[in-house]
């Protein structure tokens, strides 16, 4: 039996080169970027009006003028208008280009407009108020995203803003999720008193989909001959296999032996942890295999502690972790790494983990 840190090191040392592919940005959410993204121009590309109101010359206000005749209206998406009289103003809409000859914007809320003249109600006005300055967000050719970034909707918006219709991302390996156990029945059947519905496969599939990765499900009964034939078949079509169940020391736990007979070299079996002690990991020149305990809590924990970091590293993504302060003391007697279930609570600027009770894991 090995430690959690040893298991982690072994798994991450067997990351897989998955290659890359070009996809449309509409399908990029959750994918891992494999190219550098730079600003194709300044952002914003012009002095941009940040508030609906009027644009004026600050010098005129600073010299005591408070009433500004309105020369026209500058809408977003129009060529910039030019201020003809330094003591006048132009109405401006949010997102519009700042009119030529103006340098300050006053919000409608701070104005009294009557008879095509705007009176400024503010006692104090600052030069270049309410202007989103050219290049304030990014300069032309500035690096905006680096390879390894996990793409979220925010990154998709950025990619669109720099004109990237397609991008290079890491390809996903072909993944099979395999449940075993004669007590498991499909979700659409009513279980007999000694049966339960399959849930781990769906949880694993959903967890992979969070990363944008699809996987196929299989279920194999606890019969050595059938298991042998099905595993051989699955290995011929998939690169990554994730088993749920059949890895403990029971008389019907045939998965480890079957994998080894099919050329998968065991890297470790059993980790000094709770839950998830019976975790099995093996490799071949073409395959990565995780065999997780069948208990739902163990399956869930092992995926997020081991499989997700392995997959992100294989996809050349940046592995990130978050931390929380344990809200109250907790002790655990056996000499194992204990993965404590907590409820996350945010208080002011700190994140706390409140221990909760859980049962039925291995």
* Cα 272 to Cα 2, 249, 267, 335, 338, distances in angstroms: 6, 16, 15, 8, 9
Q: Which residue has the higher pLDDT, 361 or 115?
A: 115
The verdict on 71 and 176 lying in the same domain is: no
Identify whether 320 is part of a domain: no
Identify whether 8 is part of a domain: no
Contact in structure between 155 and 25 (CB atoms under 8 Å): no
The verdict on 31 and 160 lying in the same domain is: yes
292-301 average pLDDT score: 92
Q: Which pLDDT score, from 0 to 100, does residue 359 have?
A: 56
The verdict on 192 and 65 lying in the same domain is: no
Identify whether 2 is part of a domain: no
Q: Which tens digit of pLDDT belongs to each residue from 255-273?
A: 999 999 999 999 999 999 9
Number of domains in the chain: 4
Q: Which tens digit of pLDDT belongs to each residue from 112-164?
A: 999 999 999 999 999 999 999 999 999 999 999 999 999 999 999 999 999 99
134-141 CB contacts, 8 Å cutoff, 24+ apart: 134/42, 134/44, 134/45, 134/46, 134/47, 134/48, 135/42, 135/43, 135/44, 136/43, 136/44, 137/43, 137/44, 138/39, 138/42, 138/43, 139/39, 139/42, 140/39, 140/40, 140/41, 140/42, 141/38, 141/39
54-74 average pLDDT score: 98
Task: Please give the radius of gyration of the chain, using alpha carbons only, rounded to the nearest integer.
Answer: 30
The verdict on 59 and 39 lying in the same domain is: no
CATH number reported for the structural domain that contains residue 28 in this entry:
3.90.105.10
If pLDDT is split at 50, 70 and 90, which confidence band does 252 have? low
Q: Which pLDDT score, from 0 to 100, does residue 247 have?
A: 85
Quote the percentage of the chain above a pLDDT of 70.
Answer: 98
If pLDDT is split at 50, 70 and 90, which confidence band does 47 have? very high
Q: Which pLDDT score, from 0 to 100, does residue 195 have?
A: 86
- Among 84, 116, 132, the domain boundary falls at 132
28-36 average pLDDT score: 94
The verdict on 121 and 217 lying in the same domain is: no
Identify whether 206 is part of a domain: yes
The verdict on 55 and 32 lying in the same domain is: no
Identify whether 15 is part of a domain: no
Identify whether 361 is part of a domain: no
Edge-first strand order for the sheet with 89-92 is: 104-107, 53-56, 89-92, 67-74, 117-120, 111-114
Q: Which residue has the higher pLDDT, 320 or 155?
A: 155
CATH number reported for the structural domain that contains residue 234 in this entry:
3.40.980.10
Domain that holds residue 160: 23-43+137-169
Average pLDDT, the chain: 93
Contact in structure between 297 and 361 (CB atoms under 8 Å): yes
pLDDT at 99 over 60: yes
Kindly give, in sequence order, each residue whose CB lies less than 8 Å from that of residue 93, ignoring residues fewer than 6 positions away: 49, 52, 73, 74, 75, 76
pLDDT at 362 over 50: no
Tell me which residue has tokens 């979700």.
Answer: 187
The verdict on 298 and 331 lying in the same domain is: no
The verdict on 36 and 64 lying in the same domain is: no
Contact in structure between 32 and 146 (CB atoms under 8 Å): no
The verdict on 120 and 60 lying in the same domain is: yes
Terminal C-alpha separation, the chain: 15
Identify whether 16 is part of a domain: no
The verdict on 304 and 342 lying in the same domain is: no
Q: Which pLDDT score, from 0 to 100, does residue 251 have?
A: 66
Q: Which pLDDT score, from 0 to 100, does residue 36 have?
A: 97
Q: Which tens digit of pLDDT belongs to each residue from 228-240?
A: 999 999 999 999 9
Q: Which pLDDT score, from 0 to 100, does residue 361 have?
A: 44
The verdict on 110 and 165 lying in the same domain is: no
């Amino acid at each position: 039996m090995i430690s959690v840190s040893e298991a982690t090191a072994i798994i991450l040392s067997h990351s897989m080169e998955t290659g890359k592919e070009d996809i449309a940005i509409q399908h990029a959410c959750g994918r891992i970027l494999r190219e550098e993204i730079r600003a194709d121009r300044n952002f914003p590309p012009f002095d941009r009006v940040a508030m609906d109101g009027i644009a004026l010359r600050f010098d005129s206000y600073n010299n005591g003028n408070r009433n500004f005749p309105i020369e026209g209206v500058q809408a977003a998406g129009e060529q910039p208008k030019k201020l003809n009289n330094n003591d006048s103003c132009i109405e401006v809409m949010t997102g519009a280009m700042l009119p030529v000859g103006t340098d300050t914007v006053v919000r409608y809320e701070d104005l009294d407009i009557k008879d095509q003249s705007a009176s400024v109600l503010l006692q104090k006005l600052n030069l270049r108020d309410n202007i989103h300055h050219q290049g304030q967000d990014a300069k032309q050719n500035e690096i905006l995203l680096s390879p390894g970034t996990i793409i979220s909707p925010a990154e998709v918006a950025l990619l669109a803003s720099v004109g990237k219709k397609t991008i290079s991302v890491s390809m996903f390996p072909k993944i099979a999720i395999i449940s075993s156990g004669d007590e498991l029945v499909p979700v659409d059947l009513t279980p007999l008193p000694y049966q339960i519905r399959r849930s781990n496969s769906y949880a694993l599939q959903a967890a992979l989909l969070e990363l944008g990765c699809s996987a196929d499900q299989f279920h194999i009964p606890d019969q050595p001959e059938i298991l042998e034939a099905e595993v051989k078949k699955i290995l011929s079509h998939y690169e990554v296999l994730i088993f749920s169940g059949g890895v403990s020391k029971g008389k019907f736990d045939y998965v480890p032996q079957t994998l080894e007979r099919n050329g998968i070299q065991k890297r470790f079996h059993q980790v000094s942890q709770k839950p998830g002690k019976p975790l099995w990991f093996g490799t071949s020149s073409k395959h990565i295999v995780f065999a997780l305990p069948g208990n739902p809590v163990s399956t869930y924990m092992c995926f997020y502690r081991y499989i997700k970091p392995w997959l992100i590293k294989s996809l050349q993504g940046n592995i990130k972790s978050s931390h929380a302060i344990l809200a109250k003391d907790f002790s655990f007697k056996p000499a194992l790494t204990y993965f404590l279930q907590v409820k996350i609570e945010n208080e002011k600027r700190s994140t706390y983990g409140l221990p909760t009770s859980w049962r039925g894991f291995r």
